[in-house]
Amino acid sequence: MKVVSVVGARPQFVKAAAVSRRLRDAHDERLVHTGQHYDPELSAVFFDELALPEPAYHLGVGSAPHATQTAEMMTALEGVVEDESPDVVLVYGDTNSTLAGALVAAKSSATLAHVEAGLRSHDRSMPEEVNRRLTDHAADLLFAPGPDAKRTLEREGITEGVSVPGDVMYDTLLAIRDRLETLGGDEPSVPDEYVLATVHRAKNTDDPDRLEAIVDGLTRLERPVVFPAHPRTVDALHDYGLWERLTAAVRVVDPVGYARFIGLVEGATCVATDSGGVQKEAFYLDTPCVTLRDRTEWTATVDAGWNDLVGANADRIVDAVRAAENPPAKPDLYGNGNAAARIVTTLERHVDDG
C-alpha cells in the first residue's frame, strides 16, 4: 500500500507520528510537509522528538492569505499525487493543509482518508471549521476520535466509511510520556504549582479588546502563570501596549518542543489555552483546562467537566481557574492509545478490497 501523508502544522506532526510509525512497518509512505507553519528550529525539534521521518517533499508554502496559501498548496500537491500515484492520501485535522490535500485527493483516483473527522465547533467564523466540514464531506474514509464525532457525521448524512479508532494524539502522548526526562532538555524552571497559558489564535491575538481581557484575567490569577509565547502573540502584545503589563505578573518563556510542553502540561494545576490540541493533551494528562474561546470542537471534554469555555472574559477566566482545582471523575472518551493501529488496519482492508 502506498500512502501520501500531508502535514503542515505542529499538531499534525504529533498526529502523523503515531500513524507513520505503523504505516512504515509494512507499507510505503511519502510524508509531505506543506510548510504552512514553519519555524526551522521548532520544526526540527518536533520531527526529532517524535521520530518522524524526514519529509519526502517539503513544499515551502509558508504564510499567506487563506485562499492564496490553499491554492499554492493545491498546485504543489497535485504534482506530488500525480507523480506518486498513491493508493491513499491521508490528511489530519483542520488546517489549510488538510483542505488542500483533501481537494487534490478528491479529484484523483486515490482514496481520501481524514484522521480526526467529525469534529465541529459550529463557529463558521473559524477557518478550521470550514476546513474540517469540507474535508469530511469529500473523504472516502473518516476516522472519528470518539462517538460524539461519529454522531455528528451521521447527522450530516455521512455514514459510509466512518470508524471510531480513537485519538492518535493519545497514541503519541503515551509513546513519548515515558521518555520525558530524557527529552525534556532545558525545560523552563517553574514553581511547584502554576497555571500554564497559551494564546495563539488570530481571533484573540488580532483583537486588542479580547487580548487585553485575557491579559487581565491571567495577571489576576492567584497562582503563578507560565506562558510559552507564540511569536505572533508577542508582536500583538507589544503592538497593543500590553507587554509590560503581562510580563510584570506572568512568566513569559520561549516556545518549547513537544516533550517539554507535555511536561509543562502534566505539571500544571490548570491550563488556560485557545488551542484545540492542548485541550486534549490536558485532558489526557489529568490537568483541568480553561479554554479561551467561545466554542470548541472538543465538546466531550466540556460535557465531562474537565474543560470550561470562558471566551475572552477576565472574570470568567479567574473564576474558572479557581474552580478547576476540584475536577470531577474523568471518563474515557478517546480510546486507549491504539488508534494508529486501527487506522492502518482499516486502510489495508479498504485497499485490499479495491
Report residue 75 as a C-alpha cell: 498546485
Report the b/e string of 302-330 with b at 16+ CB within 10 A: bebbbbbbbbbbbebbbebbeebeebeee
Q: What is the CB-side half-sphere exposure of residue 246 using CA atoms within 13 A?
A: 28
- 312 and 318 in contact (C-beta within 8 Å)? no
Q: Which of helix, strand or coil describes residue 287?
A: coil
- In 3D, which of 168, 175, 36 has the Cα closest to residue 114? 168
What single letter denotes the amino acid at residue 339?
A: A
Q: How many CB atoms lie within 10 A of CB 107?
A: 13
The one-letter code for the residue type at 288 is: P
Q: Which residue's entry shows cell 511569536?
A: 231
Residue 66 appears among annotated catalytic residues: no
| Catalytic choice (200, 230, 238, 350) | 200
Catalytic residues: 200
